[in-house]
Amino acid sequence: MGSYPVPQIKGWLDAVAVLGHLVKDREALGHNRRVAQLCVRIGRQLAMTTNELRVLSRAGLLHDIGKVAIPDQILDKNSALDAAEWTLMRSHPEIGLSLLGQSRSPREMLAVLYHHERLDGSGYPYGLAADSIPIEARIVAAADTYDALTSDRPYRKACTPLEARKVLLEEAGRGLDPKVVSAMFAALETPTVTRSPERALRNFLLA
């Protein structure tokens, strides 16, 4: 991926173009799209409005944009990160915020910044807890966790969907919002519409 700093991003189309240009790993791009799509499905289960779903789709797609500043040798490492590497990795939400600037909805920005916060206050970058974490960030966190668990990573093979659900149940109320986890399970059990999910996501991004 690139090296920080990256030129200031001026708008959502610019952000998506930068993301596609800089994220060379196709699986990383696939992860971002799947998280965005799952965020929207969770939001629908929670009866969120069209504008709120649009926030979720954009935040889900760009939640990890700060990783363009993290060296490949850290992102692709197939063993545990050391303390210095973890410090750098945990800086990606704040880097993402600085890359995206101030031209977007505050709700979208907060979701990018806080998607690694945990309900019990043990997350990063600020150790927020419970309802002090915006709902959009809590939704991105759950979707991100599920997709990460069910995808191959350099340091482990993918979990099965059933195994991933067990992990999320264990994390519900501790790291993840139980209401969001429940909505995600309902979304996963609800058939998707026949139109292309990629097309539906693009419609949200461009609206």
Q: Any idea which residues carry the catalytic annotation? A: 67
**Helices 50-62 and 106-114: angle between axes, nearest 10 degrees:** 40
How crowded is residue 68: how many other Cβ atoms within 10 Å of its Cβ? 23
Q: How many CA atoms lie within 13 A of 17 on its CB side?
A: 9
Q: Do 69 and 9 touch, CB atoms closer than 8 A? A: no
Alpha helices in the chain (DSSP H): 12-22, 26-45, 50-62, 72-75, 83-89, 92-100, 106-114, 135-149, 161-171, 178-188, 197-206
